[in-house]
Structure 1
Amino acid sequence: MIGVHSGEAVDVGVNGLGRIGVPFTWQAIRDEEIALKAVGNRSIQVANAAEQIAFDSVHGRLGLPVEVVGDHSLYVDGELLPLADTLTISPGLWRGFSERLVVADCTGHYTTADRAHQHTDVGGAAAVVLSSPANDESILTIVRGVNDSEDAIARALDEKVVAVSSCSTNCIAPILKLFEARSKFPLTQAHAVIVHARTNSQPHLDGSGDTTAARRSADNTVESSTGSSREVIRLLPGVVFEADCFRVPVADGSVARLSIELAERVTKQDIVALLTSDVASDEHLREVIGTEQHDMF
């Protein structure tokens, strides 16, 4: 919920009202462990922000009343939500909302240490969490089910900037970690084919330049590079891994088909048991990995 909560609620400011920023804002509004202090966007307009927060083309409606209040704030379900223009990070921008504010940066713009630290060193935020992969080896990346041990989380709490990687990496890496951690499944190499929803980096109409990437995203399947190859290897340096990616004309929903080569022969039943029984018996893993035996696609 917005505002001050009892207990150890985390003061959060969301930067970016896009594919990730809007759903995360919704989650922050409803989650009692998060105190949503502000929402920022580049060249933010209060009426546009109200529409973006109230309704999303993919995920539908927030389901709570959103009202404009003056030029720089909204009422969401009757509680005040300040807005911030983050075209540039002005001195003390985030500190004005809370001295212990954590910025959830969902813009994909602040992916290097120098850029991300603008939120802390200039804006006065206590810390930054990047919703995208970091383009900087010095930024700590944490992926649930892979490197989120108590020691890793303790280290993350000491860092001012942390990244949570990409959707494809969060899909693939926990499965590879599951195999890597068990001697019964000696992992030799792995390959993924990722079928990914179209993104804002693709054009709405055919353009010039690369003969495939320049094609209209609503009508074409486009082979694309994927940062998950680099990210998975960085998280699991002992794993030989490659990935291919195709962007397809759907608004949301992506799939990774993972092929794994093992050094020893195992049965289908062994794999099923690993992904079901072993996961179910691990309180942490069952919050990360789920299985479905019905046809879904």
Structure 2
Amino acid sequence: MTANAQPEQNQQSDWNDKVALAQEMLPLISQLHRNNDVVVSIFGRLLVGVKDTDIIKSHRYARRVTDRELPLSQTLPILRELVDMNLGTASLDIGRLATGFEKSGETDLRAYLDRELAEVVGKHSENEPTDVVLYGFGRIGRLLARILIAREATYGGVRLRAVVVRKNGDNDLVKRASLLRRDSVHGAFDGTITVDEENDVIWANGTKIQVIYSNSPAEVDYTAYGINDAIVVDNTGRWRDREGLSQHLESKGVARVVLTAPGKGDLINVVYGINHDQIDDEKIITAASCTTNGITPVLKVINDRYGVEHGHVETVHSFTNDQNLIDNFHKGSRRGRAAGLNMVLTETGAAKAVSKALPEFEGKLTGNAIRVPTPDVSMAVLNLTLETEVDRDEVNNFLRKVSLHSNLRQQISYIHSPEIVSSDFVGTTHAGIVDGLATIAQGKHLVLYVWYDNEFGYSNQVIRIVEEVAGARPEIYPRRLEAAELK
């Protein structure tokens, strides 16, 4: 046997052992979901519809948290115990449970889990799913549909019932279904889609999506389709003030309205994770912009820890549908020039909009935007003057911990890789991802580079607001820390 043959055999044997353990986990994960309405994750990475290799990769991901790969032999016993407990609806992070048990020094795993998950035992949700209607079916509307369909299968708290659009020809339904099925940026729909042209219905993975043709938000009788107390998500951007959006509330069957754009006037602009607790009984809620969602969580934690005196936000943003493909007339400055051939300097309201979610930033930020020839994923450069001097490594380490352990981990992610480019972030569910290698710190001057999927990441933030309005956000255990509690 050659000198390196033994290590190769060990590597193969180790991989086979991991596959065997992962395959034993698969039915346990499915059983928890099916029987207890429990969703399992490993340090935030959901184990939903996964393969054995996905489970192994999730355990490898633990290196970002614990500086070592999490052994599958450490999480499998937890899953075995969980299926024997009378658990209710919840999202359980078995990675955090495994490391928590190890740090506790205890020897009785069941006793540890009984104590940590006492709030979950017997807590079964009996609430009916809340009806959701998408008003408009463009780029954001179709991504919202994809997420809602997946979330209903996973959590069951909200369900997509209808899409409202204006009819554009005889083949309207088939074309809209085709656009939902195939996406040049985000790939094919994960599942099956069929069309019932006689009843204007799109079936997606067993979900019945009623397509309603209407030219006015105030004229639809949703109750005629069995839709009641619905949340209407307006992703047309046509109306952005209270008067315009209140038209939705005139339709039968509508309870609340969520706008996928910054609102005007007295409307509350919500960035989930930052000020969603202010929603209360508001009938009309706006989800701000993709850029505002991408930068506000990062700005909050930096301000809370170091204090921000003032700053400038420059966004490098993918082109959007409101630009021209070739040079032509456009009512907006510069946007008439060919989007695929030019960098286009334009304005952004994101810097000012931050203060609507974080009043302490009023008057502190300026901003501009450069549209660039990419179809998705943007970047915000946060050029900040702080109240205290900072160290680059300390800032990066803090943001990494926030991304892994805090209650903002769904909003803030962190990456430290020399090979990352924009396309690597297509499909991210986070609001923003801090690029640690690009961080600049000198005295009180800090520059952060934050990537964000301006389509899919933003759409996930919108769905979090919808679930919050519906009272259907999944409880996550073990509880996450406030960013301020991180050392």
TM-score, structure 2 length as denominator?
0.55
1:130 aligned to 255, 259, 271, which one?
A: 259
* Shift, 1:59, TM fit: 1.2
Q: Does 1:142 align with 2:263?
A: no
- The corresponding residue for 2:173 is 46
Question: Contact 1:145/1:177 (CA < 8 Å) preserved in 2?
Answer: no
2:352 aligned to 230, 250, 257, which one?
A: 230
- The corresponding residue for 1:35 is 159
SS at match of 2:312: strand
Q: Which amino acid aligns with 1:18?
A: G
Question: What is the rounded CA distance, in whole Å, between the counterparts of 1:198 and 1:258 in structure 2?
Answer: 20
Q: Does 1:192 align with 2:313?
A: yes
- The corresponding residue for 1:174 is 297
Unpaired segments ≥5 residues, structure 2: 1-124, 422-487
Q: Does 1:108 align with 2:237?
A: yes
C-alpha change, 1:19 and 1:191, in structure 2 (3 Å) is same
* Shift, 1:116, TM fit: 0.9
Question: Contact 2:318/2:371 (CA < 8 Å) preserved in 1?
Answer: yes
Q: Which amino acid aligns with 2:302?
A: F
SS at match of 1:20: helix
Question: What is the rounded CA distance, in whole Å, between the counterparts of 1:49 and 1:35 in structure 2?
Answer: 19
Q: Which amino acid aligns with 2:356?
A: R
Map 1:35-114 onto structure 2 (within 5 A): 35-43=159-167, 45-69=172-196, 70-97=198-225, 98-114=227-243
Aligned residues: 284
1:246 aligned to 361, 366, 370, which one?
A: 370
C-alpha change, 1:167 and 1:178, in structure 2 (3 Å) is same
- The corresponding residue for 1:117 is 246
Q: Which amino acid aligns with 2:233?
A: A
SS at match of 2:413: coil
2:132 aligned to 1, 4, 12, which one?
A: 12
Deviations 1:69-105 (A, max 9, x none): 1152122234432101132225343343422110111
Which is richer in helix? 2
Question: What is the rounded CA distance, in whole Å, between the counterparts of 1:6 and 1:26 in structure 2?
Answer: 25
* Shift, 1:180, TM fit: 2.0
Question: What is the rounded CA distance, in whole Å, between the counterparts of 2:201 and 2:252 in structure 1?
Answer: 19
The range that moved more, 8-17 or 285-294, is: 8-17
Q: Which of the pair has more CA radius of gyration? A: 2
Q: Which amino acid aligns with 1:173?
A: T
* Shift, 1:246, TM fit: 0.5
CA RMSD of the aligned region, Å? 2.0
Question: What is the rounded CA distance, in whole Å, between the counterparts of 2:402 and 2:326 in structure 1?
Answer: 48
* Shift, 1:50, TM fit: 1.4
* Shift, 1:27, TM fit: 0.8
Question: Contact 1:17/1:52 (CA < 8 Å) preserved in 2?
Answer: no
- The corresponding residue for 2:325 is 204
SS at match of 2:164: strand
Unpaired segments ≥5 residues, structure 1: none
1:216 aligned to 327, 338, 342, which one?
A: 338
Question: Contact 1:40/1:85 (CA < 8 Å) preserved in 2?
Answer: yes
* Shift, 1:15, TM fit: 1.5
SS at match of 1:80: strand
Q: Which amino acid aligns with 1:143?
A: V
* Shift, 1:263, TM fit: 2.0
SS at match of 1:203: coil
Structure 1: 4+ residue segments shifted above 6 A: none
Q: Which amino acid aligns with 2:286?
A: A
